[in-house]
Amino acid sequence: MAKETPKDQKKEHAPKEHKEHASKEQQKAKNKEQNQKFQVTEAPKGAVAPLPKGYVVRMTDLYLKTVRPALMKDFNLSSPMAAPKMTKIVINIGVSEAKENIQALDLAKEDLTMISGQAPQVRRAKKSISNFKLREGMPIGVRVTLRGTRMYEFFDRFVSLSVPRIRDFQGVDPKFFDGRGNLNIGLKEHHIFPEVNMEKSPKARGMNITFVTTAGDNVKGQALLQYLGMPFKKPEVKKANANP
């Protein structure tokens, strides 16, 4: 029997190495496809430009120079740290049709990114509900939390540009406060924001906006937001009867 030469041994191992290399390439291709599917629910990269250095929102100056001294005077506060202030703004958009059409979620994310100036977070179902055809982990909405400069910048645009575009608007009802100085506003149409492109998203979506403050009660919270420019509904004045 002739002994196998090293060349013959290399030839025998070559097909195995080729198969292993091919299987690795197939695995990489599968991983790429899975990553592409997963990226559907990820935040769009590069969608939000960073704020320029030294950029100051006019609402920040208004609060420090006018609103805070007025609040200290109204409520007899000795320290400026005790004056109520706004800490964050939370915006939620529910997308119920995302469980059947994932493109609806992408449109909602784009709209919320344009409205807030910040990439939103995808919210998923925590429980499975058979009546609603909902399973745990399904994407059902988007949320964004604004703080600091972006918070005041959004508040300025909301009060100055978006609120006047609400249909039949008669002022924000003070009943929308939660008892701790936080205001919750529900909107039926997100088209009131001029940043939304009507051609890309013709369907009106409802959204909830929460203004979180450190007031602690509704009186201080309403005073803070009213000084910042939030238009509240005026209380109705009961007319006295003319007949004796």
Q: How far is 223 from 75, CA to CA, in rounded Å?
A: 10
**Count of domains for the chain:** 1
Q: How far is 154 from 24, CA to CA, in rounded Å?
A: 49
For residue 25, being part of any structural domain is answered with no
pLDDT digits (tens, 9 = 90+) for 144-180: 999 988 999 999 999 999 998 888 888 888 889 988 9
Residue 65 vs residue 46, higher pLDDT: 65
For residue 210, being part of any structural domain is answered with yes
pLDDT digits (tens, 9 = 90+) for 102-116: 788 888 888 899 999
For residue 112, being part of any structural domain is answered with yes
Q: Which CATH number is 138's domain given?
A: 3.30.1440.10
For residue 52, being part of any structural domain is answered with no
For residue 186, being part of any structural domain is answered with yes
CA distances, 30 to each of 35, 36, 42, 102 (Å): 9, 10, 19, 21
Taking residues 59-64, what's their average pLDDT? 90
Residue 41 vs residue 98, higher pLDDT: 98
pLDDT digits (tens, 9 = 90+) for 183-242: 999 988 888 998 888 888 878 888 999 999 999 899 999 999 999 999 998 777 666 555
For residue 9, being part of any structural domain is answered with no
